Chains A and B, each alone.
Chain A
Amino acid sequence: MSTSTSKIASQREELAEINSASSSRGWYQWLLIGVSVLFAVVSISFVGSIIIYSIPAWAHPGTLLTGKGWQSPTGPFGGFAMIIGTFETSLIALVVAGIVGLGTSLSIVFLVPGKFRNIIATLVELLAAIPSIVYGLWGFLVLAPWMLKTFDPFVNKFPFASTIFGSPGQQFGPSLMLASIVLSVMILPTFVAISREVISAVPSEIIEASYSLGATRWQVIKDVVLPTAKIGLFGATFLALARATGETVAVALVAGGVANAQFHLLYPGTSIAAWIATQFGEAQGTEVSALMALGVLLMLINFSLSLISRSLVNRQRKVLARV
């Protein structure tokens, strides 16, 4: 595997040499380079413009990161509630979707008979392509009334529930809890699509080898499949987390849209992306910069998550290349 890659690489180098040697770069080469530079310019101005418009807000970085209130239109603009809300909802969603999703992928690969496997895989990928607004809509019009009618009274029957979920009588349908549920349902297909692929990429040879040594199906999964797929599965997890933290409209619909810094699960709250979406319409002056600054934060979170997930996926490829 690796030898053939390096062979291809060396051939590519030769080709590249032929390319550059034959004439001082034709119009075609210049076109490709020109367009690619255009792409680079667009990408740089993407990052740059958001940062530039956010600059006025960084006069009070402390307020922006840890301030608890958001007073439109004059400020102060505190981002604490949004930052925590983002992590709270995404992490809950990730834990739920990660555990349930991993079980789902494993049963698609190891339980579902072959002829249904492709149908289910296609279905999962289609579900992953459904626009997030539709998940948000479902959460808002179906789940929220259900939460209000069934879930809240049920949860609040338990003693001490109010410490986590908030005290009874305060709840609305839209809440951080609902946002977490909608996010988990939304990222499930994405996570399952990727993790199923990672798990099916584990070579059948080593799976058969472990069965041949008398392993049970679960032992094959636990001792051979999961260790081999581990890094790729972490990659899938970070990708799902990146998707959850960046989700905008679904959260905007179901989280309640309140800059609430109490973080009880049944209280309304918001996330960075959702807050930008809900406040942007009426924002003026410094509030726009403050929202842009939240955008910069979101960008930082997202870029680091995708950087991690990409390096994990690359490492997984190397692991499989050794087999």
Chain B
Amino acid sequence: MEKIMSDATSAVNVGSESVKTQNQIAMSLKDVAVSFNGKVAVRDATFDVTKNKVTSLIGPSGSGKTTLLRGLNRLHDLTPGAKVTGQILLEGTDIYRGDITVTELRTRVGMVFQRPNPFPTMSIYDNVVSGLRFNGIKKKSILDEVAEKSLRDAALWESVESRLKVSAGNLSGGEQQRLCIARALALDPEVLLMDEPTSALDPIATLRIEELMVTLKERVTIIIVTHNMQQAARISDDCAFLLMGEDRAGELIEFDATEKIFNNPKDSRTLDYTLGRFG
């Protein structure tokens, strides 16, 4: 009910765009910049993230991909001196200034990190439902239902069904990362942020996570940071290319459909990067 209300108001607010387009956009960034103690780390990020698609952020190290991604669920709030400017809309609501608390935002925008980071003191089951418990959902039937569904969606159910009460530390790296995906999915977020989710995994586990992302996008909009250009080309629909400027601040160079970025980019620097000439 709440959500629908806010959707309706934002549709009115935006006005100029058609209702249909608005409903297809999960997140909209306008002139987003992140700075630490006045020093700009990334700027000029303006693009729309389309619902039920995979959007990748690519670029060399230092181009601010991860910094930008972490601004999308306000993780920078934890860093003193960090400042995010510009406008980030989630379904029309400004996530920094709009009528949304940071805890609510984070239940709607989930995150998967570079290294698998299950809670070491919790069992597999407790890990999956931890987000629900944080948010006050205690009912066993809901927890059980969501745990099974999330683990199935993360393609982990079969292998852990019999050992849900085992510590999460006993899983392999790839399984741990899928557990972290299941943990994020349990809250049923609209957007899932993934920060180089396969960089700590072996090639087979990487492949399985990639397959998973492609199936998951039916359910959740995915924004992924990746170093691996083949990965971006394989799985993403849209692609944002960032580059470090002369003042060592990252900036958005180009945003387009992945196919265009890789085959027919507007900016020559994008071509240089995707062809592997630097970075």
Contact = CB atoms under 8 A, between A and B. Distances in A.
In the complex, are there CB atoms of A and B closer than 8 Å?
A: yes
A203 B119 CA distance: 10
Contact of B120 (A210, A211, A322): A322
* Interface residues of A, dominant DSSP: helix
B230 interface: no
A213 B169 contact: no
A211 B106 CA distance: 8
B120 A213 contact: no
Of residues B80, B104, B180, which shows the largest number of chain A Cβ atoms within 10 Å of its Cβ?
B80
Contacts of A206: 117-120
Contact of B106 (A212, A224, A230, A322): A212
Interface string A201-227: 001011011111111100100011001
Contacts of A209: 111, 113, 117, 119, 180, 183
Nearest to B73: A212
B135 interface: yes
A203 B120 CA distance: 10
Given A208-B113, A223-B134, A322-B169, A214 B119 contact: no
Interface bin, chain B: 20 to 34
Contact of B78 (A208, A228, A320): A208
B75 interface: yes
A323 B117 CA distance: 7
A230 B122 CA distance: 13
Contacts of A208: 75, 78, 111, 113, 117
Contact of B119 (A210, A211, A212, A320): A210
Contacts of A323: 117, 120, 169
A208 B78 CA distance: 9
Contacts of A230: 121
Contact of A210 (B80, B134, B169, B187): B134
Interface string B113-127: 101011111100000
Interface in A42-58: none
A113 interface: yes
A169 interface: no
B56 interface: no
A213 B113 contact: no
A226 to B, nearest CB: 9
Interface in A167-221: 203, 205-206, 208-216, 219
Contacts of A113: 80
B239 interface: no
Contacts of B184: 212-213
Contact of B134 (A205, A219, A228): A219
Contacts of A214: 103-104, 106-107, 131, 134-135, 187
The 7 closest A-B pairs by CB, nearest first: A213-B131, A205-B117, A212-B111, A214-B107, A215-B134, A227-B121, A322-B169
Interface of B: 73, 75, 78-81, 103-104, 106-107, 110-111, 113, 115, 117-122, 130-131, 133-135, 169, 180, 183-184, 187
Given A209-B180, A213-B184, A216-B103, 8 more contacts: A205-B117, A209-B113, A210-B119, A212-B73, A214-B134, A228-B119, A228-B120, A320-B120
